[in-house]
Amino acid sequence: KRSLVLSAPGKVILHGEHAVVHGKVALATALDLRTFLRMTPRQDGKISLQLPNLGSQLSWEAAELRPLLAAFSVELPEAQPPSAEQVEKLKEFAGGDYGHEAVQSVAAAAFLYLYLSVASKYGVLPTVDILVWSELPTGAGLGSSAAYSVCLAGALLFGCGAISYPLQEGQETARWTKEELDVINRLAFRGEQVIHGNPSGVDNAVSTWGGALRYISGQISVLKSVPTLRILLTNTKVPRSTKILVAGVKAKLLEFPTIMEPMLATIDAISRECEGILEAMTKDPSQEHYSRLEDLVDINQHLLNGIGVGHALLDRVCQVTSSHGLHSKLTGAGGGGCAITLLRPGTAPSAVEDAIRDLTHCGFECWETVIGAPG
Ligand code: MEV
């Protein structure tokens, strides 16, 4: 039997990270770095999961998973979120030698949750080899877990016959229909919940749909007119946990509601203002718009520091790029991970090269990208 290969992109949040968890607007765009999945049917009654980026290789007998099915009977697409108990049980079951909280255990738990959900709904336990590899750094704020969840959701729904094989004779690549992508996105959100606890859903949405999105409380709208923005991405390589950072913001919000609520409302206003500027830019590409975008980047970076998701090395990125006339903010959960730096069409190549040289000198990894890749 033949293999299925599919892929999903990472993402960059322009504005609205963390605030989006509390019902505010986020603007996110797909990134031209992707995660790939290959699913190959196997005949020996086993299911295997290979994650070379995490150095992990796991396999289970279908007969071993069958008893778990009853505990994961999930009605898609309106599935209940995974309970903390289910997640703990799966991490223990999957973790094996890696240990309970290891990233390998969490990734395997997300796989098993999705696998068992789909299997219980469609009554099949597909015996398959699944290999997932990624161009995205893990846990750096670029949506690697969402791209992983989206790839798994697509492959498993296909493996259970819930969605069609989209490739027509003679085509090399294909996309699923809007309805199928919607089911994939909803299932991928469950994977994100296993991994992150209380995510907003913005990451899996942008990874599923691609392009640039406005996201608020589960409502997704595709931004129709987005200028091609050049962005410098810098990975500070400081590891951090989205789950812990999201929980930290919630704790502060509960402790200081009158202080935190206006800050989140201001981040919401920044996202909305940015959306208006991006739209205006597609009609009138004047440089003035860039100054306003840069101001918003600076303001939001300070607010993100204020709500407690900054890091000294993210500040370092801002200082270094600022010394070359460029503006940066953290992207994603913060606390380390990646920063984005806006590049104007008119930014002198030497300024970008100098900034990259200085950032690399600090031990960071940089690469230039454009926003708006396909899903
Ligand atoms: C993570 O990429 C973005 C956060 O807002 C979390 C979320 O939306 O789930 C920090």
SS (H, E, C) 267-282: HHHHHHHHHHHHHHHH
- 199 in ligand 1 pocket by Cβ < 6 Å? yes
Checking if the pLDDT of 81 tops 90, the result is no
- Residue to substitute in 246, 250, 252, 330 for testing ligand 1 pocket (most ligand atoms within 8 angstroms of CB): 246
Contacts with 57 (C-beta within 8 Å, 6 or more apart), sequence order:
48, 49, 50, 51
pLDDT tens-place string over residues 317-327: 999 999 999 99
What is the chain's mean pLDDT, rounded? Answer: 91
Which atom, in ligand 1's list, is nearest to the CA of 141? 2
Ligand 1 centre distance from Cα of residue 37 (Å): 23
Residue nearest to atom 8 of ligand 1 (CA): 200
Q: Which positions are catalytic?
A: 145, 203
**pTM for this model (two decimals):** 0.93
Q: What percent of the chain has pLDDT over 90?
A: 71
Residue 208 CA to residue 205 CA, distance in Å, equals 5
CA-based torsion, 171, 125, 129, 78: positive or negative:
positive
Atom of ligand 1 nearest to the CA of 21: 8
Average pLDDT, integer, range 310-323: 98
- Closest ligand 1 atom to the C-alpha of 192? 9
Q: Which two tokens stand for residue 149?
A: 């969840």
Highest mean pLDDT range out of 93-97, 225-229, 342-346? Answer: 342-346
Whether 242 is in the pocket of ligand 1, judged by its Cβ within 6 Å, is: yes
CB distance 333 to ligand 1 below 6 Å = yes
